[in-house]
Amino acid sequence: MAPRTSKKQKIAWLLYDFANTGFMVWMVTLLFPVYFRNVLCQDCGPKDLFWGLSGSFSMVVAAILSPVLGAMADRFGLRKKFLIFFTLLSVCFSAALALVPLNNFVLGMAFFILANVGYLCGMVFYNAFLPELERPERQGRFSAWGWAAGYLGAFVTLALFYPILKEVGEDWAQPRVRLIFALQAAFFLIFSLPAFFFLKENRLEKSQTSFVQAIPEGLRRTLQTFQRLKEYRGLFRFWIAFFFFSEGIAAIIYFASIFAVQELGFKMKELILFYLVMQWAGIIGALIFGWIADRWSAKFSLSWALLLWWFVAIAAFFVQGKGLFWGIGVAAGLAMGSTQSVSRTYWSRQAPQEKRNEFFGFYGVSSKLSSALGPLLFGLLSSLTGTPRWAALSLILFFVAGWLLLRRAPKDFVANLNH
């Protein structure tokens, strides 16, 4: 059972999701991918490949760091310090992207990689607070509220920045586009402050060891966790399934706006309105499938969410008009909010509570290392074929494999969590 926590702590945790999703929307999904392709990488050759490589490399770095730092946080009580450090890393370098000279795609890649590593690693320690904030039988709904808060934060930034960007049209090199990089960084920082001040961690162990001395200890514990994870056969099976369907989701996140602009001719105004609709669908999806996870099981809820991704991958290949693409966006929003929220719930319920930071580190490895392959493969296939359509269709393989592997994972019996 989770210890008693104040409403202030829970609100602070929710506000962090509210804060950081703006980075995901503007820097990973909506604005910066097209800006990178059309402005920074205008004359650099295989544009999609370089963008996919930027996302993949940053996720590989985060995947390597996550379990090591998670183990160190368990042993030395560094979870909150790591959360603050990596948040500031993301804020500083995403804002610095506004200063990168036009056509300097190398510097743009470097700054984006550092900002994305900060965002991804910060999420590992943010997720690890979940078991301490809510009882197991309520974690599904609370996790869903976290994702809903994140989508609400994205909706707020879309509404705030829309007046600045609505007249951009096809000229992505305008200064107002770069201004958004700095504004989203400020939004991220301001609404992360409550988490910095009010979240509290329960230290299971205490040590006077220095940070440098803690690194070998973290590495040793990481290797032990790989062996320990195999002892939890059901959780290990879920980990493998999560590895596969995360590939497809990451590719869609990194290339959705590029697909809309390149294949369907979306203008900036249409792109922002499209993502506004997606955010509302994400909120609804997180809440509905979070309720299903608590009413029946997270596995049952996740299985249905993956079927939505099947539709998204197939429909993207055949779509010809903007109208159908709006429908695909609604389905993707519902699936995005539900898949990410319910996966976190399943992991939280099944992971051994006394090693939650270590195992959430491995959750981070799966969500980042697996996600690292998706954007790279999408970018490579898109560059080779000259269109992102075949790359989109190929994602069905990841979603089908994830769905089949999920069937072998054990059901998380909610009824048993009440005792």
- Model confidence pLDDT, tens digit, residues 122-181: 988 887 787 677 776 676 677 778 777 887 888 899 889 999 987 776 778 888 999 999
Q: Taking CA 265 as the corner, what is the angle to CA 183 and CA 385, rounded to the nearest 5 degrees?
A: 105
Radius of gyration of the chain (CA): 20
Domain membership of residue 31 (yes or no) is yes
Mean pLDDT of 381-410: 90
What pLDDT is stored for residue 410 in this prediction? 73
- Model confidence pLDDT, tens digit, residues 290-330: 788 878 888 888 888 899 999 999 999 999 889 899 999 99
Domain membership of residue 296 (yes or no) is yes
Domain membership of residue 104 (yes or no) is yes
Note whether 124 and 69 are within 8 A (CB): yes
Note whether 285 and 305 are within 8 A (CB): yes
Note whether 61 and 117 are within 8 A (CB): yes
Closest CA to 185 of 381, 414, 24: 24
CA distance 385 to 406: 32
Question: How many CB atoms lie under 10 A from the CB of residue 38?
Answer: 18
Alpha helices in 319-387 (DSSP H): 322-350, 356-385
CA distance 276 to 247: 24
CATH number, domain with residue 195: 1.20.1250.20
Within 8 A by CB and 6+ apart from 126, the residues are 13, 16, 17, 20, 83, 195
CA distance 203 to 228: 21
Q: How many CA atoms lie within 13 A of 16 on its CB side?
A: 28
3-state secondary structure of 204: coil
Closest CA to 193 of 87, 279, 322, 290: 87
- Model confidence pLDDT, tens digit, residues 4-55: 567 888 899 999 999 998 999 899 999 999 999 989 988 787 889 999 999 9
User: What percentage of residues in the chain have a pLDDT greater than 90?
Assistant: 36
Total domains present in the chain: 1
Domain membership of residue 318 (yes or no) is yes
Domain membership of residue 219 (yes or no) is yes
Mean pLDDT rounded to a whole number for the chain: 84
Amino acid at 280: W
3-state secondary structure of 50: helix
Name the region of 386 (left: φ>0; alpha: ψ -120 to 50; beta: rest).
Answer: left
Closest CA to 333 of 377, 395, 369, 289: 289
What pLDDT is stored for residue 418 in this prediction? 43
Domain membership of residue 1 (yes or no) is no
Tell the residue number behind the tokens 């980075």, with chain if given.
23
Cβ-based burial of 34 (10 A; exposed 0-12, middle 13-18, buried ≥19): buried
Tell the residue number behind the tokens 């939650």, with chain if given.
356
What pLDDT is stored for residue 328 in this prediction? 93
Cβ-based burial of 162 (10 A; exposed 0-12, middle 13-18, buried ≥19): middle
Note whether 51 and 33 are within 8 A (CB): yes
3-state secondary structure of 199: coil
Mean pLDDT of 186-193: 97
Q: Is the pLDDT of residue 83 over 70?
A: yes
Domain membership of residue 18 (yes or no) is yes
Residue-number span of the structural domain to which 41 is assigned: 7-200+207-418
Domain membership of residue 2 (yes or no) is no
3-state secondary structure of 129: coil
Within 8 A by CB and 6+ apart from 397, the residues are none
- Model confidence pLDDT, tens digit, residues 340-358: 778 877 877 777 766 666 6
Q: Is the pLDDT of residue 77 over 80?
A: no
